[in-house]
A and B are shown apart, each in its own frame.
Chain A
Amino acid sequence: MSKVDRDLDNEIDAHLAEAVEDYVARGFSRKDARHAALRDFGGVTQVKQVHREMRSFTFMNWLDFKLGGRMLVKYPGLTIVGGIAMAFAICVGLVVFQILSLFIHPTLPLPQGDRLVEIRVIDLEVNDEEPQILHDFLQWRQSLRSITDVGAWRNSSPNLIDALGDSRPVPVAEMSVSGFKVSGGVPLMGRVLVETDEQPAAPAVAVIGYEVWRTRFGSDPNIVGRIVKFGNEDVTVVGVMREGYEFPVAHDVWMPLKTALLDQMPRSGPVVVAFGMLAPGESMKSAQAELTTVGRQVAAQSPATHQRLEPFIRPFAMMTSPAGDPAGGLILYSVYVFTAALLILICGNVGLLLFARAASREADLVVRTALGASRGRIVAQMFAEALVLGGLAAIVGVIAADVALRYWGMGFLEANMGRLPFWFDLSLSPTSFAVAILLTTAAAAVAGIMPAMKITRGMGDRLKQTTAGSGGLRFGGVWTVVIVAQVAATVIFPAVVYMEQTIMSGIEDFPAGFPTEQYLAVHIERDYAVFGANTDAAALERNARLAGTLEELRRRVEAQPGVAGVTFIASVPTTGSPQKIVEMAYDLDGGAPQANGAEPPFREATVGAVDPSYFEVLDAPVLAGRRFTAADAAAGSRVAIVDQGFVDQILQGRNALGQQVRFRYPGKAPRPWSAGNAADPPGLGDWYEIVGVVPELGLGAPTRKGRAAGLYIPATPNLFVQIQMMAHVPGGDPMTIAPQVREAAAAVDPSLRLVSLQRVNEVNNDVLWVTRLWIRITVVLSSVALLLSLAGIYAVLSFTVARRTREIGVRVALGASRRRVVAATFRRPLLQVTGGILVGTSIVFIAAILIRNTELAGFENELTLAGMAKVIGYGVIMLGVCMLACLVPTHRALNVEPSTALRTE
C-alpha cells in the first residue's frame, strides 16, 4: 500500500472517529453512533476507489503502461507494423551513433588514454600537415614540460620471413621506447624495447605481437632470442606482446626508432608521427600554449623553413577522425541530422497509426475528459502507450543493431579504411544502452505525443457538440504531408535498389576481354619514391636493381608447372588505370599548336603502362599492326598500342597505325611516357607512334563512367608507379601457385613485398561487398517504408470509413448508389496516394537525369524511352500495391447497412 493510500485510510478513520464522538455526545450508544457515522459517510470503499482513480490522473503511472500493454494485444497489426518500424528506427539510430562515435569522440582503451596526445605540425601556407617533423620532434622532446614521454614512430612493412620460408609483409612501428610506457604495454614473454636498443650500434631487435607470434611462429615458446629475417635484415626477437596490443595504431611488430635517424635538417627526413602524455596537472590548453611557445622559438631559429609552421596537439585517438577538419565534421554531423530526420519520419508514421487507433477510442477519451482528466493527462497516457510499444521495439532494435554491427560494421569500415586502429570497437557499451533509451523515449515522444496533442485539441468542444465517433476528429494537413512523403519514399527506395543492382551487375559483368579467372594478380609494393624532387643517385641505382629482381622473379614463376606466362602492368585490369589528356597529331597543324590559337579538342585516354610481354601473356589478338617487342621498352623508344575503344572514340574510325599521340601535360617525372596531370603547367610531350590495335582488355573500371579509350605504353616494370605481376595459369585455379610465388619472391629478394595475391576476376570484390551491403540496407529501408505506407493508408481509410459510417448509411438510405458513396469517401486518400506516387516518380525521374550527367557508371544508357517506361510502369505498380491497403476498408464501407449504421448512433 502506498503512503498516499495509508494517509487516506488514516484520514477516513479520523473522520469516522470524530463523527462517532459527535453522535455519542448527542446521546447515541457507541454502536449506533458508529452505524450513523458510516451511513453519513457513504461507501468507504467507493470513496477510496474514486480517490485512487483521481490520483492516478495526476501523472503517468503503471496503469498507463498496463493499458499500453493491453492495447498492443488488442491491435496486433499495429503492434507488429509500428513495432517493426520503431525497432528499425532505433536500430538505425544506434548503429549510426556507434559508428560515428568512433570518429567524433573516440576513446582509447588505455589506462590514461584520454591524456595521450598526438603532436603535429600544420603548414599554414598550404593549410596542410607537414609530415617531416623529426627536427621539431627533437626540440619538443628536449624542451616540453607539459607533455612528457614525447615519442615518435614511423611505419614500415618489411617482409617477415618465417621458419617455413613464408614471406609476407607485416606492419611494423619503428617506435621510441616511450611508446610502450604511454600505452601501458606489457610483454607476454621477454621484454619491450629499451633505450639502449635505440643506439646506432645496438643489434637489431624486434618485439612481435601476439597474432604474429601465434600465426607465423606457431606460438613457439622459445621465440625470445631467436633471429628472424625481416626482408634482408637479421633481427633478434626480444619479446612478445600480450594479445590485443597494437599500439600505436594497428601494428604487429615493434622495432626501435634509431637515434641516428633523428638528427635531421628542418623539414626533412622520414615521415614520423609524434605523441606524448599530458603531464600531471596539465590540460590540453596549457600544453598547447607551451607547444606554441616552443614552436615560435623554432621558427625564430629557422625562419626559412618554419616561418609558416605551427605545432598543434590533439587527442591521440582523434588522428583517424575527420571531425577535426570542417568538411569532414560537416559530413559527420549531416549523417546525424539525416538519421534524426529518418527517425522522426518513421516515428511520425507510427504516430499516424497511433492516431488512427486513438481516434477509434475517441468515445473513451471524451468520457475521460468529462470525468476530469486533463489534456496533459491524456497526452501522458498516449505517450505511455507509445513507450510500451517503443520499449518492445527497443529490445528488438538493440539486438538487431548489435548483430548488424558485429557482422557488417567492422567489415564495412575495413572495406573503406583498411586495417582499423586498435581503439575501434563497435560492441555495445553502457553508453549505447543510454542512447537506446534516449532514442526510444524520443521515438515514443514523436509517435505518442504528436497524435495525442492533435486528438485532444478542442476535446472540450467535442464533448459539448457531438457524440463520439461521429466526426469531430479530422486528419489534418500534417498527416497528408506524412502520407504523401511516405508513399513517395515507397516509390523512391526500390528505385534506389534497382540503381544499386545496376551498379552491381555492372561490376560483375564488366567485360575484361580475357579470361580473368585464369590469372593471378600479385601486388608488389615499392617503399621508396624514385621519381620526383627527392630522387637521389642511390634511389635510382636501387631502382635499376629492381628491374633485375623482377626479371628474375618472372623467370622463376614462369618455371612453375601450370604457369603459361608472367607479365607486369601498373594497374590490374578492371580496377581503372590512370586517365590522361592526350593530343593527336592530326588535331594540330603538323605538330605545332594550332595557328588560330584554338584549344585542341579534349581527349582523355586511359593509360596502361605494361611490360612488352603483356599482350602475349594475355593471348590478346592483334586487330592491326603488331604487339610490343622487348626493344620497345628501351629508353628513347616511343611506340604505343591502342585498344578498340580508343579507335572508336578518339580516332573515330581512322586507321590507327602510324598515328602520332602525345600527353598534353607531361609531368616532371623521368618516366618515358611522362604523363603528368592537368594541374601541371602545360608543356609539350614526346610523340608516340601507334603501332598496333588490340581489343578492349579492361583498362577502365566498372565504377567509372563510359567506355575507356585505352592507350598502352611499354616499359620495364621497375618504372611503374605500382607494380602488378600477372601470372597466367590456364589449366586451373591460379591461387594454387600463390605459395610458390611467395617462395620465389623470398628467394629472389627477401625485401620484395607481396602485398596481395588474388585472382584477377576478384579484384573488385571489396567494391562488390560494399555495394551488396548498401543493397541490403536499402532493401530493409524500402520494406519498412512500404510496410508503413500500406499500414498508414489502411489506417487512414479505416478511420475515414469508421468516422463516416453514419453518413454512408444515411446516403445509402436516401438512395445514393454505393459506388458513388465509396468514391466520395475515398477521394481524399486516393488523392494522397496518387500525389505521393507522382512526387516519388518525379524524384526518381529527376534523379535519373542528374545521375546520367554525373560520373556514376552504368547509367549513361538508362534514361531511354524504355527507361522512362520502366519508371512509369513502376509507378503504376506501386499505385496498385498501395490500393491493396484500401481493399478491406472499401469492403467495409460497401457493406454498411443503413439500418445498422443509424442504430449504432
Chain B
Amino acid sequence: MVPDKNDVLYGSLGMLVLQTLAAIGPLHGYRLARRIEQISDNQLTLNQGTLYPALLKLQQKEWIAAKWGESETGRRVKVYSLTKAGRKQLESQESRWHRTTGIIDRFFKIPNEA
C-alpha cells in the first residue's frame, strides 16, 4: 500500500491537478506535470501521458477550463486554469481528505496493548 515512487496515489491525480492550479495559477500540460513532480519533491513521478485523460475528465466536469496560449518558450500550448466550480470542488475534497487521513491517523496511533 505504500506508494511506490512511480505511482501517483490512486484516484488522487485530479485533486493534485486542482490543487496545483489553485496554488500556482494557469499552466500548460507539461509544466503542470513537472510542477506536480517538483512539489512532491520528486517523490511522485507521473506517467505524464496519463495527465491528459485526467485533464479531459476535469474539463468534462467543468472544474477546469482550457484555452490555447503561449508557453515560456513561445510554443502554442493549451493552458489550463481552475474554474469557480473547481475551486469549490477542491475545498470539499480537501476537507474530506483531511477527515479521512485524520481517521486513519488515529488507527496508527492506537497504543499497542499486547
Residues of A within 8 A of B (CB): 7-8, 10-12, 14-15, 17-19, 21-22, 40-44, 46-47, 50-51, 54-55, 58, 372
Contact = CB atoms under 8 A, between A and B. Distances in A.
B44 to A, nearest CB: 13
30 contacts: A7-B78, A11-B52, A11-B77, A12-B49, A15-B28, A15-B30, A15-B77, A17-B73, A18-B30, A18-B73, A18-B77, A19-B30, A22-B34, A40-B47, A40-B48, A41-B47, A41-B48, A41-B49, A42-B50, A44-B49, A47-B49, A47-B50, A47-B52, A51-B52, A54-B53, A54-B56, A54-B57, A54-B60, A58-B60, A372-B57
A18 B53 contact: no
B76 interface: yes
B48 A50 contact: no
A42 B28 contact: no
Given A18-B28, A58-B60, 12 more contacts: A10-B76, A14-B28, A14-B30, A14-B71, A15-B29, A18-B75, A22-B34, A41-B49, A42-B48, A47-B53, A54-B57, A54-B60
B76 to A, nearest CB: 7
B49 A42 contact: yes
Nearest to A53: B53
Contacts of A22: 34
B31 interface: yes
Contacts of A18: 28, 30-31, 71, 73, 75, 77
A322 to B, nearest CB: 54
Given A14-B75, A15-B48, A41-B47, A50 B29 contact: no
Contacts of B28: 14-15, 18
A168 to B, nearest CB: 76
Contacts of A47: 49-50, 52-53
Interface in B63-110: 71, 73, 75-78
B73 to A, nearest CB: 6
Contacts of B56: 51, 54-55
Give the interface size class of chain B: 20 to 34
Contacts of B48: 15, 19, 40-42
A372 B46 CA distance: 21
A546 B46 CA distance: 109
B68 to A, nearest CB: 8
A21 B73 contact: yes
Contacts of A51: 52-53, 56
Interface in B21-71: 28-31, 33-34, 45-50, 52-53, 56-57, 60, 71
B74 to A, nearest CB: 11
Query: Shortest 10 CB-CB distances between A and B: which pairs?
Result: A42-B49, A47-B49, A42-B47, A18-B30, A15-B30, A14-B77, A41-B48, A41-B49, A50-B53, A14-B75
Contacts of B47: 40-42
A10 B48 CA distance: 16
B100 to A, nearest CB: 18
Contact of A14 (B49, B60, B76): B76
Name, among B34, B52, B57, B60, the residue most crowded by chain A CB atoms within 10 Å (CB to CB): B52
Nearest to A18: B30
A46 B53 CA distance: 11
Contacts of B45: 40
Given A7-B78, A58-B60, A12 B52 contact: yes
A60 to B, nearest CB: 15
B75 to A, nearest CB: 5
A805 to B, nearest CB: 34
A6 to B, nearest CB: 12
Contacts of A41: 47-49
Contacts of B33: 15, 40
A19 B49 CA distance: 12
A41 B52 CA distance: 10
A207 B93 CA distance: 88
Contacts of B78: 7, 11, 14
A8 to B, nearest CB: 7
A55 B75 CA distance: 25
Contacts of B75: 14, 17-18
Nearest to A40: B48
Nearest to B34: A22
A4 to B, nearest CB: 10
A547 B73 CA distance: 114
B17 to A, nearest CB: 15
Contacts of B73: 17-18, 21
A176 to B, nearest CB: 69
Nearest to A12: B52
- Central interface residue in A14, A50, A58, by most chain B CB within 10 Å: A14
A11 B68 CA distance: 9
B77 A43 contact: no
Contacts of B52: 8, 11-12, 47, 51
A14 B49 CA distance: 13
A498 B50 CA distance: 68
Contacts of A10: 76
Nearest to A43: B49
B90 to A, nearest CB: 20
A15 B75 CA distance: 9
Contacts of B46: 40
Contacts of A19: 30, 48
Contacts of A12: 49, 52
Contacts of A372: 57
Contacts of A55: 56
B98 to A, nearest CB: 24
Contacts of A11: 29, 52, 77-78
A624 B92 CA distance: 105
Contacts of A14: 28-30, 71, 75-78
Contacts of B57: 54, 372
Contacts of B53: 47, 50-51, 54
B11 to A, nearest CB: 12
Most buried by A among B31, B34, B49, B73: B49
Contacts of A54: 53, 56-57, 60
A176 B60 CA distance: 70
Contacts of B60: 54, 58
A12 B52 CA distance: 9
A532 to B, nearest CB: 81
Contacts of A50: 53
Nearest to A50: B53
B5 to A, nearest CB: 14
